[in-house]
Amino acid sequence: MIAAARSFRKLRLDRVSRDFGALNALKDVSLDVGRGEFIALLGPSGCGKSTALNCLAGLLPLTGGGIWLDDERIDRLPPERRGFGMVFQNYALFPHMTVRKNIGFGLRMQGRARTEVEQKVEEVLALVRLAEQGAKLPGQLSGGQQQRVAIARAIVIEPPLVLMDEPLSNLDAKLRLEMRAEIRRIHNSVGSTTIYVTHDQDEALSLADRIVVLREGTVRQVGLPSELYGRPAHPDVAEFMGYRNLLRSRVAASGGEAATVEVAGATLSGVIIDRPADGEAIVAIRPEDLTPRQGGPISATVATAEYRGRDFYGTALAADGTELFFRSERSVAPGETLQLGAEPSRVLIYGNGVA
């Protein structure tokens, strides 16, 4: 079995910034990553997640701040001296080299002995379940197999850190699901530390020990997947984590951590995440939590509906014109009037702002 990656206690990003002219791609990003963690950098296009990864890899210099591996400052080191493994979106395999030669390339560049290279390549081929494919060229493999080769090449050098930049985005839906499980299995087997860039909340939730949500170059929230799924700290984080109903409202009454709010011409009870200062609020509800129910407070007319295997998901218009995203266990049709509601614990209330 391949040896555990080089030991370290903590990777630290200290107020890291990266500018492109007048554009601040990263702004004072600070983050501590422990050995063995799987960290997902999550956010929409242009939020700075790939820039952060390239700064870690040494492909982009910092404008400000520093990156530390334990007591060693590494942001001033060239990429080859950092010794990190990198998995790219497009695989970046050498098309004229066999799978074995692709995987062993980094070891050969390090001047390792031939017998050592051959042994480690065979070990990692078994780890990524490609033992029978070693003599093939990349063009003879499926997309999922090529991505496993790219992962094998990254981990065979036993790096302290493995960096992955949206590695599954070029795969079809079935392969993406399969490769999620494979990436997590390989991470656990090697004992490496992984930083994984994605714009897909499902990938982040299923893979990561902790998720870092970025927006416009800043860190908006860091937490466990369960924390970001259930209690996002800001409305924009909620929106990115799947709370498609993000509705402006007014607080009708509040007490402790609970409040009632006026939404879509009705009154709903919810949980205060960020207390509104002036009575104006933003209410976040996941589509799967807003459902037809007996005595539901929101009367809305179905506009669209689509079948997704077990349930129907659709949009509906309330009497005041508010568009709502909902889920129904039974078949619904456009033009049908529904009484929608949600459990108070699944209605999140924020102050009227994104800061």
φ/ψ (deg, to 5) at 191 = 75, 25
Which residues pair with residue 212 across a beta bridge?
41, 222
pLDDT of residue 253: 84
Is pLDDT larger for residue 90 or for residue 17?
Answer: 17
φ/ψ (deg, to 5) at 253 = -160, 150
Give the C-alpha separation, 205 to 200, whole Å.
9
Is 50 exceeded by the pLDDT of residue 3? no
Give the C-alpha separation, 323 to 125, whole Å.
51
**Amino acid occupying residue 172:** D
In the Cβ-directed half-sphere of 136, how many Cα atoms lie within 13 Å? Answer: 13
Is 80 exceeded by the pLDDT of residue 4? no
Is 90 exceeded by the pLDDT of residue 347? yes
Structure-token pair, residue 273: 């995440």
Q: Please, which pLDDT band fits residue 354 given cuts at 50, 70 and 90?
A: very low
**Among 29-43, 215-229, 265-279, 293-307, which is the least confidently predicted range?**
265-279
Structure-token pair, residue 220: 């908006």
- Mean pLDDT computed over 102-115: 90
**Amino acid occupying residue 222:** V
pLDDT of residue 6: 59
Is 50 exceeded by the pLDDT of residue 1? no
**Whole-structure pTM value:** 0.89
Is 90 exceeded by the pLDDT of residue 7? no
- Mean pLDDT computed over 305-323: 94
Helix H or strand E segment including 298: strand 298-307
For residue range 21-64, what is the model confidence (pLDDT) as tens digits? 999 999 999 999 999 999 999 998 889 999 999 999 999 999 99
Is 60 exceeded by the pLDDT of residue 5? no
Which residues pair with residue 41 across a beta bridge?
197, 212
Give the C-alpha separation, 287 to 304, whole Å.
13
- Mean pLDDT computed over 196-225: 95
Going by C-alpha positions, the residue among 163, 170, 162 that lies closest to residue 145 is: 170
Q: At what angle do helices 114-127 and 143-155 cross, to 10 degrees?
A: 130
Which burial class, exposed, middle or buried, applies to 7 when counting CB atoms under 10 A from its CB (0-12, 13-18, 19+)?
exposed
Is pLDDT larger for residue 175 or for residue 337?
Answer: 337
Give the C-alpha separation, 52 to 26, whole Å.
7
CB 300 within 8 A of CB 338: yes
pLDDT of residue 175: 84
CA 9 from chain center: how many Å?
A: 23
Whole-number Cα distances in Å, 286 to 110, 279, 310, 349? 50, 22, 17, 13
| Torsion of Cα atoms, 321 then 324 then 328 then 331, to 10° | 40
**Among 98-102, 177-181, 234-238, 304-308, which is the least confidently predicted range?**
177-181
CB 81 within 8 A of CB 131: no
Is pLDDT larger for residue 152 or for residue 2?
Answer: 152
Q: Give the rounded percent of residues in the chain with a pLDDT score beyond 90.
A: 69
Which burial class, exposed, middle or buried, applies to 88 when counting CB atoms under 10 A from its CB (0-12, 13-18, 19+)?
middle
pLDDT of residue 90: 80
DSSP 14: E
Q: Please, which pLDDT band fits residue 110 given cuts at 50, 70 and 90?
A: confident
Name the most confidently modeled range: 17-21, 43-47, 183-187. 17-21
Give the C-alpha separation, 51 to 216, whole Å.
11
In the predicted model, what is the mean pLDDT of the chain? 91
Structure-token pair, residue 315: 């949009």
Going by C-alpha positions, the residue among 16, 159, 27, 33 that lies closest to residue 75 is: 16
Structure-token pair, residue 349: 């209330």
Q: How far apart are the first and last CA of the chain?
A: 48
